[in-house]
């Protein structure tokens, strides 16, 4: 059972008491990510994430880490396209310490000039590390291709140029614009007593004010299709990604798409895994993934494979997709897929950290708590007609893009043949 509360300054708090657990997790989720950025300041949200660990009026950077390390806890953060999260997981008896550290970071961070210059070097290395991971880089390319010239095309990390152009004044101004009570949700789950937690949160976060107000941008719909974008890079495998228009996270088609994804490439028993890997031996890694955003989405198929096999791979993909569109799935398969999806979802919630994230993201992104019971009901309601409709809409060959990282011999010829296979 969850509880929802608003602090006096407007911060929304969602909580779940889990008395059978020995831990507690807290997350501070902010309605801000790279979609709020312009090209010139791309990466500022991620940069702020780093800066909040660099020291406050009360603690040095080392003391922030030590305070949580000394109680055997975890302290971390991440920045996404649409939101940022700072979180901690500790033994339940130490939850007040985690709240104190996170509130100190959120309210009292110094943003010192010398720390910023040093952190630019650190993030520069993070960008290089990211580029050395072709599976990550290919998804950035896919977003650049589909969401061309829109904020959603921007990398979360930013670029070397945008990073170096960030000024202290611009960073602090951006922070005060978006990191405020109206854009924030605090989520807590674990062996806690809600009344005690509210009292501590009011004490620690009550001083935050809405100095400025910046609302998250409305994400534009995909603008660019039937295009190929590649990054030539010496790799052992070609990292290949097919992207198509998906659905938004608030769409009625979200759950039919999740079931369709489970069938196509969401597990080791899926169509693509069995066909591409087990039967044909064309790839070690192959999977499909939906990405949901505020009013848009992507459905993608990824594989790491030898570039010599790319045309054969594309032909199989088209054949299997056409087969799903023409024949859909059986009623027996639909029941199995529902159980598979429900089991995966429920098992993923068996920690205080995952439960905290589920509550927090739900409140932040949907402005309401969607319970596990709600999710199960939505999965159970999916019909074969829903699957048929969604497969017809998603698997539209007029709305495909391709991104790849690696090396292709006879690049122009291969790209032309890929277009003939997948874009028609």
How does pLDDT run across 336-383, given as a tens digit for each residue?
999 999 999 999 999 999 999 999 999 999 999 999 999 999 999 999
397 burial level (CB within 10 Å; 0-12, 13-18, 19+): middle
Predicted confidence (pLDDT) per residue in 90-102, tens digit: 999 999 999 999 9
Model confidence band, residue 209 (pLDDT cutoffs 50, 70, 90)? confident
Assign domain 2-205 to a CATH class.
alpha beta
> Could you tell me if 217 and 35 are in contact, meaning their C-beta atoms sit under 8 angstroms apart?
yes
Residue 206 near residue 8 (C-beta atoms within 8 A): yes
Residue 373 buriedness (CB in 10 A; 0-12 / 13-18 / 19+): exposed
**Across the chain, what does the average pLDDT equal?**
94
Residue 242, beta-bridge partner list = 301, 402
Average of pLDDT values for 93-122? 97
Pair 409, 283: CB distance under 8 Å: no
Mean pLDDT of 213-218: 60
Minimal CA–CA distance to 349: which of 359, 338, 340? Answer: 359
Residues near 167 by beta carbon (within 8 Å), at least 6 away in sequence: none
- Local confidence band at 221 (pLDDT 50, 70, 90 cut-offs): low
CB 40 within 8 A of CB 98: no
Residue 291 pLDDT greater than 80, yes or no: yes
Nearest to 238 by CA among 418, 398, 399, 424: 418
Instruction: List the domain boundaries for the chain.
Output: 2-205, 227-422
Rg (CA), the chain: 23
DSSP 8-state class, residue 368: S
Confidence at 207, pLDDT banded by 50, 70, 90: confident
Angle, alpha carbons 101-106-108 (nearest 5°): 85
Q: Locate 119 and state its tokens.
A: 């952190």
- Collapse the DSSP code of 288 into the 3-class scheme (helix H, G, I; strand E, B; otherwise coil) and give the result: strand
Does 250 participate in catalysis according to the annotation?
no
Q: Which of 16, 37, 49, 119 is catalytic?
A: 49
In terms of DSSP bridges, do strands 184-190 and 227-232 run parallel, antiparallel, or are they unpaired?
unpaired
Q: What is the mean pLDDT of residues 199-215?
A: 84
- Given pLDDT bands bounded at 50, 70 and 90, which one contains residue 216? low
At residue 113, the pLDDT reads 95
How sure is the predictor about 218, in pLDDT bands with cuts at 50, 70 and 90?
Answer: low
Rounded to an integer, the average pLDDT of 231-257 is 94
- Chain centroid, CA 65 distance in Å: 25
pLDDT at position 1 is 78
Give CA–CA dist 34/43, Å, rounded.
7
Look at residue 220 in the predicted model and tell me its pLDDT: 63
What is the Cα–Cα distance from 285 to 237, expressed in whole angstroms? Answer: 11
Say what the pLDDT of residue 396 is: 92
CATH superfamily of 227-422: Metalloenzyme, LuxS/M16 peptidase-like (3.30.830.10)
Cα 267 → chain centroid: 19
Do the domains 227-422 and 2-205 match in fold? yes
């Amino acid at each position: 059972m969850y509880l929802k509360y608003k602090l006096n300054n407007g911060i929304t708090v969602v909580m779940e008491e889990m008395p059978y657990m020995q831990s507690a997790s807290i997350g501070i989720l902010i309605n801000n990510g790279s979609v709020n950025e312009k090209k010139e300041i791309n990466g500022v949200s991620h940069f702020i994430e780093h800066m909040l660990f660099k020291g406050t009026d009360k603690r040095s950077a080392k003391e922030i880490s030590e305070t949580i390390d000394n109680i055997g806890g975890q302290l971390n953060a991440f920045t996404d396209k649409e939101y940022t999260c700072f979180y901690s997981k500790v033994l339940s008896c130490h939850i007040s310490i985690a709240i104190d550290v996170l509130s100190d970071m959120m309210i009292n961070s110094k943003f010192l000039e010398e720390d910023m210059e040093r952190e630019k070097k650190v993030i520069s290395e993070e960008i290089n590390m990211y580029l050395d991971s072709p599976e990550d880089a290919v998804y950035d390319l896919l977003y650049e291709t589909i969401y061309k010239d829109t904020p959603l095309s921007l990398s979360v990390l930013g670029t070397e140029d945008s990073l170096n152009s960030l000024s202290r004044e611009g960073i602090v101004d951006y922070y005060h614009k978006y990191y405020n009570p109206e854009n924030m949700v605090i989520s807590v789950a674990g062996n806690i007593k809600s009344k005690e937690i509210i009292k501590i949160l009011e004490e620690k976060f009550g001083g935050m004010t809405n100095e400025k107000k910046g609302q998250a941008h409305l994400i534009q719909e995909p603008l660019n299709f039937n295009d190929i974008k590649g990054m030539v890079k010496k790799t052992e495998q070609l990292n290949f990604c097919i992207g198509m228009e998906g659905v938004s996270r608030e769409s009625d088609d979200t759950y039919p798409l999740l079931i369709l994804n489970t069938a196509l490439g969401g597990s080791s028993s899926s169509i693509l895994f069995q066909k591409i890997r087990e039967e044909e031996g064309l790839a070690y890694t192959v999977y499909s993934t939906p990405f949901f955003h505020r009013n848009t989405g992507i459905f993608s198929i990824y594989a790491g494979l030898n570039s010599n096999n790319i045309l054969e791979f594309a032909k199989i993909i088209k054949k299997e997709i056409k087969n799903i569109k023409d024949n859909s799935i059986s009623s027996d398969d639909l029941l199995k897929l529902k159980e598979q999806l429900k089991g995966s979802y429920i098992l993923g919630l068996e920690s205080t950290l995952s439960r905290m994230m589920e509550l927090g993201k739900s409140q932040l992104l949907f402005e309401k708590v969607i319970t596990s019971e709600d999710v199960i009901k939505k999965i159970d309601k999916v019909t074969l007609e829903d699957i048929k409709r969604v497969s017809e809409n998603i698997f539209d060959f007029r709305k495909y893009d391709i991104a790849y990282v690696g090396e292709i011999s006879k690049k122009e010829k291969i790209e032309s043949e890929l277009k003939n296979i997948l874009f028609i």
